Amino acid sequence: MKNVIWALVIILLIIHQDNWFTNDTLIFGFMPIGLMWHVGISLCAAFVWYLATVFAWPHELEYDDNPGTEEGD
Amino acid sequence: MRDGLTQLIIISIYLSLLLCLGVFASRLFRGTKKDYLLASHSIGPFLLLMSLFGTTMTAFALVGSSGEAFTEGIGVYGMLASSSGIIHSLCFFLIGVKLWSLGRKYGYTTQIQYFRDRLDSDFIGILLFPILVGLVIPYLLIGVMAGGTVVQTMTAGAFPNLEAFSDPSPARHGGVPPWLGSLAICTVVLVYVFFGGMRGTAWANAFQTLVFMVLGLVTFVVIAQTLGQQNSMLENLKTVTSKVPFEKVTREHMSQTKFFTYLLVPLSVGMFPHLFQHWLTAKSANSFKVPVVCHPIFIMIVWVPCVLIGIWATTLKLPPTITPNAVLPFLVKSQTGPVLAGLLTAGILAAIMSSLDSQFLCLGTIFSNDIVGHYIGHERLSDRQSVWLARTFIVLVVVVTYGLSLMGYKSVFAMGVWCFSGFASLFPLIVAALYWKRLTAWGAYACVLTAIGCWLYLFRDSEFGANGEYAVMLGKYEVMPVVVIFFSSLVAMVVVSLVTPTPSQETLARHFD
């Protein structure tokens, strides 16, 4: 699963470089298509990182010698 | 009421609120060095997200993004925002969690402590110290100077008859002069960092991050309504954007190779010393999950409105002498009422100060921990002495930064990119230290010296950052200077490491087993 997640990150970085979306179409009449494309990439990035926290989290790095209330939580 | 006076009152109230937060934070302080510098490793997911995001988003995100979109068009979002959404989280995930784990295990407070231990080398600290400080100071100056400029622009007209407040530009005449605005900002940040330490900084960051995110969205809606003059928000957005010229709603004239090589710039977060310190405040590795997932979304929430406001500004008749940094303050002042303009100024200052605080604290920590504490001996200093030592250096850093801020002003965007490029060029060092056993102390020296040598050469070549369009030509390809610096330092590090002896087996076992 880790490899799938790294593949998704690489795919995101590749589509991040797309040049076609030199198009002045306005999505919903106000959103330049190039900007919309990258808003989509931002949302996809959040989803890919969510998958990483579920399927590829480095649990072996956990370290807790101070159990107690978390600040702000 | 005179133009600008309302804004000045609102800004003063906001800064007073922060001073109260500083007093509140001092009551939470537990009196130990660990609590002052690392909040006793007690920061949970929400506060970690807010403090990491607040620290990475500075004047660069609000003032710089709108100004650059005004100049270059929407491509600026892809160049820095969506790429940062992917790469910042990558750094938190691959570097932050691992450094946090090692830091908890071996009691690190700063990057220099980690590198000294990992490489069995005292000299790496002496080498890195001036470079890290030298790269953080310009980053601090971005905030301090942008803050002074924003306050002056937004309070213009408040005191038109006072000699000290006069300015040749009508857009700034009568406003609080930059030296005074910057002084107020530095003083307020100093108070809550001085008394509250890292815990006060984390709470102030959370509060200020909420302020600038909410007020950024409010700015967007109000400016859209003022410019659109239609009955619904959607109609306003359509009306305003339809007037934007073709080259601003596309990336038509932006070099593709330059756009591609901008991907290296966000790697700088892997080497920010102030982020290292924030990472170590986390209570557990799981605290990183929320920042890793939410960071790209938060960047989007802040940057999209600013970029759209920047391209909308191209449809207006702005003063011919307006600089990119002044676009957002000018729009806010000219398109909204005085109360909202005052609130929005507070939002911009919140973004600036939520970065300044971490950087002031971090530099104070490096001075007290890696220089004085390291050479005097940490065991000879009591907790109380360590805290006061850090506080003394924080005051010194603030005074020096403020003094430097009075010396001149360059583009927020250009200065930011050079600063980030310097940190990004050291990125190979932190990755190799964490994941490559073969890295040696000599390889690290080669990496750092090559990075800073290339950086200085190219920085001078760009007329010390004055040439905002500066790029390096590789054959017919135009690339960002960070590419040359990054790969030079990477090659130097690998080659020298392969021909010099590795650290002891004992050290490698501590870090890799």
**Alpha carbon of B119 to those of B14, B95, B115, B489, B499: distances in Å?**
46, 17, 6, 17, 15
The whole-angstrom distance between B190's CA and the closest CA on chain A is: 22
In this predicted structure, the answer to whether residue A12 has a pLDDT above a threshold of 70 is: yes
Put simply, the answer to whether A16 touches B263 (Cβ < 8 Å) is yes
Whether A62 and B284 lie within 8 Å, measured CB to CB: yes
Distant-in-sequence, close-in-space partners of B323: CB < 8 Å, separation ≥ 6: B67, B411
Q: How far A1 CA lies from chain B's nearest CA (Å)? A: 16
Report the distance separating Cα B304 and Cα B385, nearest Å: 46
Q: Hey, how many other C-beta atoms are within 10 angstroms of the C-beta on B32?
A: 15
Q: Do B41 and A45 touch (CB under 8 A)?
A: no
Task: Write out the H or E segment, with its range, that includes residue B484.
Answer: helix B481-498
The nearest CA of chain A is from the CA of B104 a distance in Å of 7
Who among A43, A49, A63 is closest to B89 (CB)?
A49
Q: Where are the beta strands (DSSP E) in B407-471?
A: none
pLDDT classification of A2: cutoffs 50, 70, 90: confident
Report the distance separating Cα B356 and Cα B429, nearest Å: 25
Q: What is the pLDDT of residues B425-480, one digit of tens each?
A: 999 999 999 999 889 999 999 999 999 899 989 987 887 777 777 888 878 788 88
Q: SS3 of A73, please?
A: coil
Give the pLDDT confidence score for residue B96 in this predicted structure: 97
- CA atoms of B311 and B314, how far apart (whole Å): 5
- Residue A70 predicted with pLDDT over 60: no
Q: Given an 8 Å threshold on Cβ–Cβ distance, is B289 in contact with A45? A: no
Residues of B in contact with A23 (CB under 8 A): 250
Does residue B423 contact residue B273 with C-beta atoms inside 8 Å?
no
Identify the sign of the CA torsion B95, B100, B101, B103.
Answer: positive
Angle, to 10 degrees, between the axis of helix B289-312 and the axis of helix B83-91? 160
Among B68-77, B100-109, B166-175, B200-209, the range scoring the smallest mean pLDDT is B166-175
B83 — contact with chain A (CB < 8 Å)? yes
Whether the predicted pLDDT of B409 surpasses 60: no
Q: Does B471 touch chain A (CB under 8 A)?
A: no
How do residues B238-277 score in pLDDT, each as one tens digit?
Answer: 888 988 998 888 877 688 788 888 889 899 989 999 999 9
Tokens of B493: 């590090």
For the ranges B19-23, B171-175, B282-286, the maximum mean pLDDT occurs at B282-286
Segment B19-56, tens digit of pLDDT: 887 887 777 777 888 888 899 889 999 989 999 999 88
Q: Return the half-sphere exposure (C-beta side, CA atoms, 13 A cut-off) of residue A11.
A: 9
**Cβ-nearest to B292 among A53, A62, A63:** A53
Residue (of B216, B212, B191) closest to B201 by Cα position: B191
- pLDDT on residue B81: 93
What is the amino acid identity at position B66?
Answer: S
Per-residue pLDDT at A67: 47
**CB–CB contact A26 B238 (8 Å):** yes
Check residue B298 and give its pLDDT. 95
Q: Is the pLDDT of residue B495 over 90?
A: yes
Q: Does B282 touch chain A (CB under 8 A)?
A: no
Q: Name the residue of chain B whose CA is nearest to A17's CA.
A: B260
Query: Which of these, B40, B403, B29, B59, lies nearest to B194 by C-alpha position?
Result: B29
Would you say residue B182 has pLDDT above 70? Answer: yes
Better-predicted residue by pLDDT, A68 or B93:
B93
User: What's the gap in Å between the CA of B422 and the closest CA on chain A?
Assistant: 22
Identify the weakest region by mean pLDDT among B37-51, B166-180, B269-283, B349-363: B166-180
Q: Does B43 touch chain A (CB under 8 A)?
A: yes
Q: Place B226 in a pLDDT band, splitting at 50, 70 and 90.
A: confident
Contacts of A32 in chain B (CB under 8 A): 74, 241, 249-250, 311
pLDDT at B142 over 50: yes
Residue type, B79: M
> Which superfamily, per CATH, for B5-512?
Sodium/glucose cotransporter (1.20.1730.10)
Determine the pLDDT at residue B483: 92
Average pLDDT on B177-193 reads 92
- What is the least distance, in Å, from the CA of A5 to any CA of chain B? 11
Q: Which positions in chain B touch A64 (Cβ < 8 Å)? A: 283-284
| In chain B, % of residues over pLDDT 90 | 42
Only one residue has tokens 């002052």, namely B36
- Whether residue A24 and residue B246 make contact (CB cut-off 8 A), yes or no, is yes
User: CA-based diameter of chain A, in Å?
Assistant: 56
Q: B279: pLDDT confidence band, cut at 50, 70 and 90?
A: very high
CA B22 to CA B326: how far, in whole Å? 30
A:B CB pairs within 8 Å: 158
For chain B, what percent of residues have pLDDT higher than 70?
A: 97
The H or E element containing residue B474 is strand B472-474
What's the pLDDT at B413? 54
Region of poorest pLDDT, from B230-239, B377-386, B495-504: B377-386
Give the pLDDT score at B107. 92
Given a cut of 90, whether residue A59 has pLDDT beyond it is no
